[in-house]
Structure 1
Amino acid sequence: MTGWTADRIPDQRGRVAVVTGANSGLGLVTATELARRGARVVLAVRNTAAGEDAARRIGGDVEVRELDLASLDSVRGFVAKLAVDHPAIDVLVNNAGVVLLGPRRVSADGFELQLATNMLGHFALTGLLLANLAAARESRVVSLSSITHRNAHLDFDDLMFERGYRATRAYGRSKLATTVFGIELDRRLRAAGSPIVSALAHPGLTRTNLTPRAWEHRGRLGRWIARAGLAATQPVEQGALAQLCAATEPGVRGGQFFGPSRLWETRGRVTEARISREAADPAVGRRLWAVAEELTGVTYL
């Protein structure tokens, strides 16, 4: 992967790509590069006005559809229409996410909001689109992890963090859950003999709008901390390369995990990233999968 850039993305004409959270940050860059290579790109966004603005900036063959990953009703409504309009989907980039630094918040379904958005919503979305992914040749699912997953732990007795809530720990837990999901999905796809590839990526420390939003409630001090933190990060165009590589590079294998190569994987060129022991544990994968099926009502593989 040495020196991998967006210029290495193969021709995407005739392919359909769905990118969640595509109106800004990593998702916007990912959608832009896929459209630039000729893909029909579905911008799956919570704010459709922001999505329409992004579509105008991207140009090419793009469409905007409403999707709130923190609502299972929204996920099901989104899939019901998309699955009919696009019987075959080549790429699903599970990019959308939230970062919270304030008090505990819950989703429309009563789940801790970061876990709901970052993992459970994508679990349901992927499962409901599995037949469409299977209908395409060489299709891929890319799950967006984070280096924070390595310091996190899944407490199955309090998965929703109802006791002793700390937002930063809850975020890390949501990204560990996302990583476990991507790896367990690969195991199950292989066992089923499916040609769908489940790969993972993380952006290191990247300059997006998630950090400033997370610190908004802290006033002037929070805004100063956000600006100082962003100064140490890499541009979003660089941070998006790992997920673009996972989504498009020929020969990517199921279970591969991509991220930056320098300074403890916080920045730099794309390389294969390190997965925590807990994330790679098949027993954890099986247990989280069973819980996710129960919570979302989506059963597959």
Structure 2
Amino acid sequence: MTDWSVENVPDCSGKTVVVTGANSGLGFEATTMFAQKGAHVVMACRDLDRAEDAANEIRSEVSAASLTRSKLDLADLESVYAFADEFKSNHNELHVLCNNAGVMAVPRRETKQGFEMQLGVNHLGHFALTAELFDRIRDTPGETRIVNTSSGLHERGKMDFDDLQSERDYDKWEAYAQSKLANLLFTYELDRRLDAAGIDDVVSVGAHPGYAATNLQYRGPEATGSRVRLLMNKLANTVIAQSAEMGALPLLYAATEESVEGGDYIGPQGLFGMRGYPGKADSSARSKDEATAERLWDVSEDLTARRFRLA
């Protein structure tokens, strides 16, 4: 399929969607597109004031937008569990969970529970969130989807179980690549476990935006105070990157395209997978290693103290 755009997104009236990191970048664009198609979107954001500003901007473009703001800090598992409790108190159905929020190439920091920040936010926080919301997803009538946002940089990633939190050796890009590899290992392992449990109506899918111009590229340089890197990233976003709106299309495709199957990986089909309209992509051999995926699943359950109730 070529030139797949928001025009190809089916009517989403009556559907409830959760988008993490919905107030900026890809999450903002995806939320806008879901709202245009009639979905009710729960904007899961760390900063409710920024979420309110984003919601107002979306409503100025989509007057009938159905939006709810809800606090979610993926760097704090207590916040993850509180968000899930609030969601389940207010919503009986969840049709699409978009695990989109993330941090990239930041100096080493730790989450509230002591996890390395990139692994903690990008993978463990979303793993715990998915586990907490899984009953709602499973019990919602019709097909439901869990979409995990990865990155082309997952190909550089390797799961270092001997130093998973990068306590002995930290490289910000290696840690980012590990977290993005973890996103796909989780996606594929969840798909296999859904199949084994006979749960046919829940679809686990991965997606990546290519190189999209968002604020994500600026957070690392801003955290280190590197003005040179910040200027270089701004130049690259202007000259090389595609728009955030284009970058959000793979997530929309993964969430709504009828032909998508469990275990698919969706990304731009253009130059080196960095830009272009979305379609099915391929991921690294490491992302498909079942033994590594099983080990990561077990470690993730232990670290988050959460289990998926698949039976």
TM-score bracket, normalised by the shorter chain, equals over 0.9
Partner of 1:214: 220
Q: Tell me the equivalent position of 1:135.
A: 139
Q: Assess if the C-alpha contact under 8 Å between 1:22 and 1:45 holds in 2.
A: yes
Which one of 118, 135, 152 corresponds to residue 147 of structure 1?
152
Tell me, in whole angstroms, the C-alpha distance in 1 between the residues paired with 2:259 and 2:136: 21
Aligned length: 300
Cα distance per residue 1:136-168 (max 9 Å; x no partner) = 221100000100001110011111111221001
Shift of 1:219: 3.5
Q: Give the 4+ runs in structure 1 shifted more than 6 A.
A: none
Question: For 1:106-125, what aligned pairs fall within 5 Å after superposition?
Answer: 106-125=110-129
Q: Are 1:165 and 2:170 an aligned pair?
A: yes
1:46 aligns to what? 46
Structure 1: distance between partners of 2:173 and 2:114 = 19
What are the within-5 Å matches in structure 2 for residues 1-301 of structure 1?
Answer: 1-59=1-59, 60-102=65-107, 104-136=108-140, 137-194=142-199, 195-216=201-222, 217-231=224-238, 232-300=240-308, 301=310
CA distance in 2, matches of 1:220, 1:165: 22
2: CA distance, partners of 1:220 / 1:276: 33
**TM-aligned CA deviation for residue 220 of structure 1:** 2.6
d(CA) in 1 for partners of 2:88, 2:194: 20
**CA deviation after TM superposition for structure 1 residue 135, in Å:** 1.8
Amino acid corresponding to residue 199 of structure 1 in structure 2: V
CA distance in 1 between partners of 2:285 and 2:90 (Å): 40
**SS at 1:268's partner residue?**
coil
- CA shift, 1:221, in A, is 1.3
2:221–2:227: 8 Å Cα contact kept in structure 1? no
AA at the equivalent of 2:15: R
For residues 48 and 185 of structure 1, what CA distance do their matches in structure 2 show? 31
Q: Which sits farther off after the overlay, 264-273 or 88-97?
A: 264-273
Q: Specify the SS of the correspondent of 1:199.
A: strand
Q: Within 2, Cα distance between the matches of 1:158 and 1:229? A: 32
The amino acid that maps onto 1:37 is K
Q: C-alpha separation between the residues in 2 aligned to 1:262 and 1:9?
A: 20
Q: Partners in 2 of 1:160 and 1:152 — Cα distance?
A: 14
Q: Secondary structure at the match of 2:19?
A: strand
Measured in 2, the distance between the counterparts of 1:213 and 1:189 equals 36
Secondary structure at the counterpart of residue 99 of structure 1: coil
Is the 1:88–1:134 Cα contact (8 Å) retained in structure 2?
no
**CA offsets 1:144-196 (integer angstroms, 9 cap, x no match):** 01000011100111111112210011000000001111111111111111110
**SS in structure 2 of the partner of residue 3 of structure 1:** coil
On the 8 A contact 2:147/2:205 being kept in 1, the answer is yes
Once the two structures are superposed, what CA deviation does each residue of 1:14-63 show, in whole Å capped at 9, x if it has no partner? 00000000000000001110011000000000000000111111121001
Unaligned runs of 5+ in 1: none
Instruction: List alignment gaps of at least 5 residues for structure 2.
Output: 60-64
Superposition deviation, residue 251 in structure 1? 2.9
Q: Distance in 1 between matches of 2:296 and 2:260?
A: 25
TM-fit CA distance, 1:101:
3.5
Provide the rounded CA distance (Å) in 2 between the counterparts of 1:135 and 1:219: 48
Query: Alpha-carbon deviations, 1:200-226, whole Å to 9, x = none?
Result: 100011100011121112343122122
Query: What SS class does the counterpart of residue 275 from structure 1 fall into?
Result: coil
1:287, distance to aligned residue in structure 2 (A): 0.5
Aligned equivalents of 2:218 and 2:103: distance in 1? 12
